Amino acid sequence: MLLRLIGLLLVVWLVVSIIGAVIEGLFWLLVVGVVLFLGTAAYGWLKGSDRV
């Protein structure tokens, strides 16, 4: 369940980042999307390593 949520969030942050990169006036959206993507990926990686 948690891995599905993390996967969904990663996809959402990736889409937000792409929208921010495509639309010139929304560069801040790219930055926020990348930061949230990296934070979610790190959280998922840490939670995944706890299970082993």
* 23 vs 52 pLDDT, higher one: 23
pLDDT for res 52:
52
CA distance linking residue 32 with residue 17, whole number of Å: 7
Confidence label for 30 from pLDDT (cuts 50, 70 and 90): confident
Structure tokens at 35: 């930061």
> Residue 2 above 80 pLDDT?
no
Q: Domain tally for the chain?
A: 1
Confidence label for 39 from pLDDT (cuts 50, 70 and 90): very high
CA distance linking residue 1 with residue 4, whole number of Å: 5
Q: How many CB atoms lie within 10 A of CB 34?
A: 16
Percent of the chain with pLDDT over 70: 94
Residues spanned by the domain of 32: 2-50
